Amino acid sequence: MIDNYDRIIEKISKISNVDKEEIERKIEAKRAKLSGLISKEGAAQVVAAELGISFDNEKLKIEELLPGMRKVNTLGKVVNVTQPRVFKTKKGDDGKVANLFIADDTSNIKVVLWDLNHISLIESGKIVEGIVIEISNASMRDNELHLGSFSELKVTNQSIEGVKTERNFKEKKISELKNSDNVKIRAFIVQSFEPKFFYVCPSCRKKATQEGNIFTCVEHGKVIADKKALINIILDDGTETIRTVAFQDNLADVGLTDLENVEELILQREKLLGKEMLFYGTVRNNKVFNTPEFIIEKVDEINPDLLIKELEN
């Protein structure tokens, strides 16, 4: 995250002709004024806005796209496309949404298309894996880039070499973790809890509220919701412990497959204890406990070659 922050400062400095040091000072002052409630990156954006800088005419690298940014322009190679999904809008009409992943030489990002004209480029086969697209006037929603009807999407014949399809996860110790860190930790599973089940909207994947058998999405109204599970797992790497959240997609990689079978799941959870693995994800603040929590995005077995190398040392 730090290099990302440095890049933003550099960019602000270049456009505004203000020294990097001066910009950093302004950012720190802004954060102090807001009692540290805002991230460095967030404060950088506020400072940029105050200096009258907009990124409207700038083409940003994917790594430079930050939550909350609007009217951003970027370029990326399509590395994954999912077929459009149909959902019911609040008015009861059929809406469509499609996702893709784009990558450049700095990073990669999920792109969400809401406009039918953009979606038709996927349906007609104009946007496929390997093609480079240019995006203008899109907005960042959390860590995703969203394109509405005011956004532009174009296929270009520019080429991008050395795209980064793996996300950038730095390895850190649990005791060093800070809010919104994107990291890899190597740790032992020391405890796991019973699964919690919840329902999500099939279009936007946001939590759907349940009343009897009726599920509602804030954005998409009445939906046929997907049932999902999560399990809290406690990790320990010798420096500290942290509570994590493992969602459905990662549970099988950890070794939890029989979520609905109480007895089998107890056995699977027992087998987990003491297992050492690599966990990739993001640190966020748990609002209920007001403690850091690690959201697992990917799990890996520890590579035997790596272990052998360590034993040799």
Residues lying near Zn ion in the complex (CB under 5 A) are found at 201, 203-204, 217, 219-220
Q: Which is nearer to Zn ion, 89 or 117 (CB)?
A: 89
Residue 96 C-beta: closest distance to Zn ion, Å: 12
Residue 201 C-beta: closest distance to Zn ion, Å: 3
Q: Which is nearer to Zn ion, 89 or 175 (CB)?
A: 89
Which residue reads 């939590």 in tokens?
Answer: 207
Q: Which residue is nearest to Zn ion (CB)?
A: 201
Q: Which is nearer to Zn ion, 5 or 198 (CB)?
A: 198
Q: Which is nearer to Zn ion, 5 or 114 (CB)?
A: 114
Q: Which is nearer to Zn ion, 220 or 269 (CB)?
A: 220
Q: Count of CB atoms within 10 A of residue 168's CB?
A: 15
How many Cα atoms within 13 Å fall on the side-chain side of residue 287?
0
DSSP string, 258-301: -TT-HHHHHHHHHHHTT-EEEEEEEEEEETTTTEEEEEEEEEEP
Residue 114 C-beta: closest distance to Zn ion, Å: 11
Residue 119 C-beta: closest distance to Zn ion, Å: 16
Q: Do strands 72-81 and 59-60 pair parallel, antiparallel, or not at all (unpaired)?
A: parallel
Residue 220 C-beta: closest distance to Zn ion, Å: 3
Residue 206 C-beta: closest distance to Zn ion, Å: 5
Q: Which is nearer to Zn ion, 8 or 223 (CB)?
A: 223
